[in-house]
């Protein structure tokens, strides 16, 4: 005779929901947003169905809708004009730059929205790299100085949390010290601590034209600063260093192929963990759903819930708006 039957707690939805371990809500989501120059402008991103580059006015409109759906945080990326790119990244801390104007506009229109601007030089670089280049090499410390100036500029514009995604050594400390010295003691740092050199970033790079250029005497990829996808223990090393340097939230990127890293980090730290459900993951689900191979809504909710199960607190996802609509039903 069987005395212990696990199926007793799966008999119906009411029982299943009663003992459910992880619940997905709109509070978990951060929506990445692409911003472009102009007014009343919107451009579709072919490799990311349903995602657009928008001018500031339409970005503000979108943020109002997101907030009404229960999404309380956005992550900002700029499509920078070619004539503004160089090897210093100086446009990144232009007080009247596209990023700075966007931050101000969102905070003015939706004060309760948490604005997390991306901190990295690749959208501003003529080389498409996250760092300043000298003699064909990515210069770590010079890049940190630029990232610190960029972060302070974002804080001045009204950013709540800055999100360095560059993977330079020591940049969290450089940014933390610069923010403290400038009086921005309440501005948080969400550090991309375990960001892997991944093939899943392709659609994102096409959206911003931020891929490394392959016609120059420079590194053809980002493997000298982003992590080797063969490694997992190295992720903990990166995480612990960023925490020591003053990070408030830890990011792991990409998401679904790296749930083992999320779980490993969750067991090791108490700080909030963010995970990035990246553009390639989004594109794969959308392509399969459009071909009728997957149920779009069910796959979205299942995949996002997996991040919570693995230990993530925040989920950066292009599905955020769509998932909110599904959950709000």
Average pLDDT over residues 220-246: 95
pLDDT number for residue 218: 80
**Kind and range of the H or E element at 304?**
helix 296-310
* Rounded (10°) CA dihedral 314, 319, 322, 325: -20
pLDDT number for residue 123: 92
Spatial distance between the Cα atoms of 294 and 274, rounded to a whole number of angstroms? 26
pLDDT above 90 for 206: no
Q: Which residues contact 3 (CB under 8 A, 6 or more apart)?
A: none
DSSP secondary structure code for residue 291 in this structure: T
pLDDT number for residue 74: 98
pLDDT above 80 for 209: no
**Candidates 3.20.20.70, 2.40.50.140, 1.10.260.40, 3.90.79.10; CATH matching 21-328:** 3.20.20.70
Instruction: Assign 3-class secondary structure to 190-210.
Output: EEEEEEECCHHHHHHHHHHCC
pLDDT number for residue 40: 97
Average pLDDT over residues 123-144: 92
Assess contact for 23 and 67: CB atoms under 8 A: no
pLDDT number for residue 212: 75
pLDDT number for residue 215: 64
pLDDT number for residue 202: 83
Task: Kindly state the tokens that stand for 75.
Answer: 């992550």
Closest C-alpha among 204, 199, 124, 121 to residue 167: 121
Q: How far is CA 111 from CA 55, 103, 223, 266, 277, in A?
A: 19, 11, 38, 31, 26
**Residues in binding site for Mg(2+):** 238
Task: Kindly state the tokens that stand for 276.
Answer: 């990035």
Q: What is the DSSP string of 26-49?
A: GGGEEEEEEE-SSSS-EEE-TTST
pLDDT above 80 for 125: yes
Q: Tell me the β-bridge partners of 299.
A: none
pLDDT above 70 for 134: yes
State the chain's mean pLDDT as an integer.
Answer: 95
Q: What is the pLDDT of residues 13-61, one digit of tens each?
A: 999 999 999 999 999 999 999 999 999 999 999 999 999 999 999 999 9
Spatial distance between the Cα atoms of 152 and 311, rounded to a whole number of angstroms? 31
Q: Catalytic positions, please?
A: 195, 253
Average pLDDT over residues 271-296: 96
pLDDT above 80 for 213: no
Task: Kindly state the tokens that stand for 170.
Answer: 């020591």
Task: Kindly state the tokens that stand for 304.
Answer: 């996002």
Closest C-alpha among 73, 262, 76, 99 to residue 165: 76
Torsion sign, CA atoms 106, 312, 228, 146: positive
pLDDT above 80 for 217: no
Task: Kindly state the tokens that stand for 245.
Answer: 């340097």
pLDDT above 90 for 172: yes
Q: What is the pLDDT of residues 50-93, one digit of tens each?
A: 999 999 999 999 999 999 999 999 999 999 999 999 999 999 99
Confidence of residue 128 (pLDDT cuts 50, 70, 90): confident
pLDDT above 90 for 204: no
Task: Kindly state the tokens that stand for 251.
Answer: 């990011």
> What are the residue boundaries of the structural domains of the chain, listed by start?
21-328
Helices (H), 158-278: 171-181, 202-208, 233-245, 259-268
């Amino acid at each position: 005779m069987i005395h212990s039957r696990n199926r007793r707690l799966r008999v119906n939805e009411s029982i299943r929901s009663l003992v459910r371990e992880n619940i997905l809500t709109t509070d978990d989501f951060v929506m990445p947003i692409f911003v472009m120059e102009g007014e009343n402008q919107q451009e579709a991103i072919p490799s990311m169905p349903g995602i657009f580059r928008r001018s500031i006015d339409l970005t503000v409109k979108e943020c109002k809708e997101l907030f009404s759906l229960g999404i309380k945080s956005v992550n900002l990326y700029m499509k920078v004009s070619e004539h503004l790119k160089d090897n210093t990244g100086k446009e990144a801390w232009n007080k009247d730059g596209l990023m700075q104007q966007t931050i101000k506009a969102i905070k003015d229109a939706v004060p309760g929205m948490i604005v997390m601007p991306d901190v990295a030089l690749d959208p501003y670089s003529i080389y498409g790299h996250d760092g300043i280049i000298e003699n064909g090499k990515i210069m770590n410390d010079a890049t940190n100085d630029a990232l610190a100036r960029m972060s302070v500029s974002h804080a001045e514009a009204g950013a709540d949390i800055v999100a360095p995604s560059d993977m330079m050594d020591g940049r969290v400390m450089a940014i933390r010290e610069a923010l403290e010295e400038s009086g921005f003691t309440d501005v948080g740092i969400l550090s991309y601590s375990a960001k892997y050199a991944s093939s899943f970033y392709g659609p994102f790079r096409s959206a911003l034209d931020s891929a490394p250029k392959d016609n120059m005497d420079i590194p053809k990829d980002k493997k000298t600063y982003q992590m080797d996808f063969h490694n997992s223990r190295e992720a903990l090393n990166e995480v612990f260093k960023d925490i020591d340097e003053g990070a408030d939230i830890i990011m792991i990127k990409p998401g679904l192929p790296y749930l083992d890293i999320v779980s490993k980090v969750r067991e090791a730290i108490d700080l909030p963990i963010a995970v990035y459900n990246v553009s390639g993951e989004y594109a794969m689900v959308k392509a399969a759903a459009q071909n009728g191979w997957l149920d779009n809504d069910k796959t979205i909710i299942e995949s996002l819930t997996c991040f919570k199960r693995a230990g993530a607190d925040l989920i950066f996802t292009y599905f955020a708006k769509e998932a909110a609509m599904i959950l709000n039903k």
